[in-house]
Each structure stands twice: as C-alpha cells, then as structure tokens.
Structure 1
Amino acid sequence: MTNIEKLLRIRPYPHMRVESDPANQVHWMYMHSQLAAGDRPCFRPGLMDDMWSFLNSITLREHQREPGRLRHVVVASDADAFNLGGDLALFAQLIRAGDREHLLSYARKCIDGVHHIHTGLGGDVRMIALLQGDALGGGFELALSCQTIVAEEGVQMGLPEVLFGLFPGMGAYSFLSKRVAPQLAERIILEGNLFTSEEMHAMGVVDVLVPKGQGEAAVEDLIRRQQRAPHAHIALNAVRGISQPVGYDELMGITEVWVDTALALGDRSLRTMDRIVKAQTRRSYTTKPDAVAL
C-alpha cells in the first residue's frame, strides 16, 4: 500500500482521523488529531467514543466476512506521544466524589474497546499498534491488546500507576502475561518503571523495532507480508483465541478490582495524580507537523 493510496479516503472524527484504502482493507486510525496547546494525549471519553465508534462501524458480522479476506487496522497517533493513558484529572474528580458508577462506566468503556481489539474485531482483522511516541499506562495497555506492536527506537513505555498507589486495570496484566512470564509482568506493574522500546523489544513485548522515522514504512511492509498469507493470519487469530484467550469476563473482573482500589486511595495519592496532570499539561504535547489537518 503506497502513501497515495492510503490518502484516498479520509474520515473525520472530533478527536482522531482515519485514513482508509479504497477497498476498505486497511485503515489507519490516528489518535489526538489537532491536539490543542495544553491538551493531554490521554484516553479522554470523547477519544474513546470516536475510536470505538469507528471500530464498530467496520466490524463485520460472520456472514459478511469473505474467506481469505484479511483486513488491517493500524492504531497510531498524530501527537508526539502515542497515548499517556487514563484521564487522571477525571479519575481524581470521580474518586474525590466517591462516584463508583461513573468510574466503573469509564473502566467498562475501556474494556469494551481493548477486548474488541484483542479479538481482531471478530477475527478477520489484524490490529497493529504503531508507537512513534511514549505509551504509558492505558496507552501501553492499548498497544498490548493489539496483535502486533511496532515501535520506533527511543520510545518510552511502561505502567507507572503504582506511583499513586494504583495498578493498571484495563488489561495490562492479562495482555502482558501473554508476551512475558507472569512473574515479569507482575514486576513491571509493581515497580512502575519506564522502559525504552529497545528494552521492551529485548523482552519480547515489542514485536518490531525500527529506527526513528521508519515506523510507517515498517507497518506497510508488515501488512504486505501478512497479505501474502491471509488464510494463515486469520486462522492464527482463532488459534490465539483458543490457546491464549483473554476473556471479557476476566477483563471486567480485574477492572472492578481496579475501581474499588481507586476509590480507596487517600489524599496523598490524589495529590500525586494532580501533580502528574500538571506536569503533562506543562509539557504541552502537540500535533506532529506532518499530520494531515482536516
């Protein structure tokens, strides 16, 4: 797929942009399009609404799928970060209010999305995360839910939730344990350290590591290679679901533990959340200069 072909169809959303090839075979979904100064490239409810709405719109029912037709969705970012994770400002607000209903609603929306991604939108789609900027917390969980992670060198990723007394509750343990030993997954979660893409590649978490600026070309090459054996890759989606399942009930059970743990956090943890939000806001993440404006 050439870049010209990719730009033939552009679908606008308030918080992201989508580029699709003419055959609707490959879709590139860029989060954080036209990020305003001071905005944080995190999982705000509006972004999740856009993402899940688009993914649901291209999900085919079983009788609509054509044998041997393999589709791809690439999750990337228009900002200079992939995704910084959950909306900490919203979390702190809901925790202070003791609002379990809305915190659980946010968590459930996350689980609905990552589970749908992890199952390949029903089985005929290979999901690729393209990391050209930092992926933290829920942003890293999103990448882990995809079938393939392609990262450029120098990207940082990790699960820092332990810094404010919490743990990543939207699939991190389940997805990470499919890529590394459960003991290592637990250590990564509990230590809260950040790792470079080079380190994550050495661990086996990142599938494809490329020099900075070569991420999109690497993804296009990966798609071309997978399209040479579409039946095998569709079958592998099914095999993975049998051999290494991550069920919806498992994810929801874990995220309910996350909600109850979050609601038990004290003022010290909430002040730490506030400081992180302020630091992210001061950092002033922006839209990449080469991103297409709608």
Structure 2
Amino acid sequence: MKTDYHNIIVNQDLSTCTISINREKKLNALNKDTLDELHHAIIDALREDNVKGVILTGTGEKAFVAGADIAEFSTFDSKEGKELAREEQSKVFDVIHQASKPIIAAINGFALGGGLELAMACHIRIAADHALMGLPEVSLGLIPGYGGTQRLTQLVGRGHALEIILTGDMIDANKALSIGLVNYVVPLSDLINKANTLLNKIATRSPRAISAAIRAVNASLSNEGYETEINEFSNLFGTEEFKEGVLAFLEKRKPNF
C-alpha cells in the first residue's frame, strides 16, 4: 500500500486502514492534490485483502475538513465548475459512497462544505462532541457540488436539509445526532477508538454479505438528483453573486448580495 503522500497520512493497523487528511494549518481544506491522493489511498485500501474497513479523519483537533480550497476555483466559469463537480464526485465522493467495504468518517472538528460532503459520502459518521458541521456554499453564491444536496436530504430529510443548506449555518454535534446526520457523538479522545470498535464488529460478519448490503442500500437511492446538482452548481459559476461571494470570502468580509 502506497504511503508516500504529501497531504494525507495512511496507516494500516490489522484490518483497519486509517486515512488522515494532513493539512492542519489549512484546516485540512480539500484542494485538487489532496483529492487526488484521497482517490488513490481509498482505491488501494479497497483492493487490499487484509483491509476490512477504513476510517477517514483529519489531523489535529480543530478540523475534519473545513471545506474546499476556495482559491483554487475562484475564477472558474460554468464549464469549469461542471468539470470540477463531476470529476471530484466521480473519483472521490462516489468511490467512497459505493465502496464495498465500510468507511467511517471520524469527524474530529469542523466539517464544512466539501468536508461535510466527504463525511456524508461515508457509510457511517462519528463526531467528536466539539465538532461543528454545515454547508455554507450559499454564502459564496453557490450550492453544495459534491453530492451535498442529495446525501444530506437522504440522511436528515427535506426540511432539515433545506434549513441547513439555505441558511448556511453550522450545527453542533448533538444537533447533528438528533437529526440523524451522525450516528454517534463521543469525546475527541474516544473518537478513533469508537470507529475502530465499530469496524472490528463489522469485520466479524460475512464480507460478501457486507458488500451486498451496501450495494442493496445504495440501490434504493436515485442518481438523477446528483446530475441536477452538478448542473445547478456549475450554472452558478461566473455569476456576479458567485464572484462577490468568493471575493468576500478571500477578503474576509461579509458578502453583499
């Protein structure tokens, strides 16, 4: 299994592979290089016979993933926005969602924007009790573009999903637990241990049955919505509101819509 990554850390302990996003100074924000590394690390883990499950987390105590690296796409037009959403959904978020082995998100802090979308693509989510989650894309003149409108609705229902997406507000871990966004809330010191305990239990079950169960559950979800999200997401690139939202973010001020 490859280990010479720059933006992530990969550790295999017995039957569990732990992938940690390692951009702590950037609050583990997702840039293109990090997403590329995640793709390869996840594919490697899924191909490794000894690996029965994967834990996805972030380094440090502040952030799981505090969002996408906005500076990378701040000048994109609609075509580039569509390519961004389609490519990254395909090679990272959908790979996680459709993985034949369980992938648990251990949310150790902020999970915002693309970070929450990354956690939602996982099969199970466990949050540290100080974690904050949200989809703030509307403040940038965008909508979630990595499956967020679809997976959040599937997890928490239309009403909660629309409130979270339309306000762009963060919710705390206990609120996330109460609406079904996360499965467990634990102290940070217990986070990885809880994920390991759950994966160890799953590892005692039939591997073929686990894979079949994941496929069957995923089959209940329609894919049409993802295409709609990609189109709506990309159409917002190049608009004046998008330009103002991103500029305000980069200038650390409130946008004037």
Q: Distance in 2 between matches of 1:208 and 1:246?
A: 26
SS at match of 2:89: helix
Name the larger-Rg structure.
1
The answer for the alignment partner of 2:158 in structure 1 is: 182
Is the partner of 1:213 in helix, strand or coil?
Answer: helix
Does the 8 A contact of 1:89 with 1:273 survive in 2?
A: no
SS of the residue corresponding to residue 135 of structure 1 reads strand
1:118-197 aligned at under 5 Å gives the runs 118-120=97-99, 123=100, 125-197=101-173
1:262 aligns to what? 237
- The answer to whether the Cα contact below 8 Å between 1:107 and 1:170 also exists between their aligned partners in 2 is yes
Q: Aligned with 2:125: secondary structure?
A: strand
Mapped partners of 1:173, 1:104: distance in 2: 15
Aligned to 1:234: 211
Query: Which digits, 9 at most, give the CA deviation of each residue in 1:6-54, with x for residues without a partner?
Result: xxx88230111100135xx321000025x4x5x3521111100100022
Provide the rounded CA distance (Å) in 1 between the counterparts of 2:240 and 2:68.
Answer: 16
**Structure 1 outlier segments of 4+, above 6 Å:** none
Report 1:31-42 matches (<5 A): 31-32=21-22, 35=24, 37=25, 39-42=26-29
Deviation at 1:194, TM superposition (A): 0.5
Secondary structure (helix, strand or coil) at the match of 1:43 reads: coil
Which position in structure 2 is the counterpart of 1:45?
32
TM-score by length of 2: 0.87
- Tell me whether 1:83 sits opposite 2:62 in the alignment: no
Task: Give per-residue Cα distances to partners, 1:101-122, cap 9 Å, x unaligned.
Answer: 44333222321111111011xx
Q: What one-letter code is carried by the residue in structure 1 that aligns with 2:124?
A: T
* Aligned Cα root-mean-square deviation (Å): 2.5
Q: CA deviation at 1:70?
A: 7.6
Question: 1:70 & 1:241 partners in 2: Cα distance?
Answer: 21
| Contact 1:92–1:273 (8 Å) recurs in 2 | no
**2:105 aligned counterpart, secondary structure:** strand
Question: For the residues of structure 1 that align with 2:51 and 2:2, how far apart are their CA atoms?
Answer: 21
Quick one: distance in 2 between partners of 1:40 and 1:132? 11
Change (3 A) 1:265 1:72: farther
Q: Secondary structure at the match of 2:189?
A: coil
Whether 2:11 is the aligned partner of 1:30: answer no
- Give the partner amino acid of 1:48: L
* Structure 1 counterpart of 2:249, from 247, 270, 273: 273
* Contiguous gaps of at least 5 residues in structure 2: none
Larger RCO (CA under 8 A, 6+ residues apart): 1
Change (3 A) 1:53 1:101: farther
CA contact (8 A) 1:174 1:246 kept: no
How far apart are residue 185 of structure 1 and its match? 1.1
Q: Aligned with 1:170: secondary structure?
A: coil
Identity of paired residues, percent? 22
Alignment CA distance shift 1:165-1:155 (3 Å): same
Any unmatched runs of 5+ in structure 1? 1-8, 280-294
Supply the AA of the counterpart residue of 2:94.
H
Partners of 1:17 and 1:151 lie apart in 2 by 20
Name the residue aligned to 2:81: 103
Structure 2 CA distance, aligned partners of 1:251 and 1:137? Answer: 16
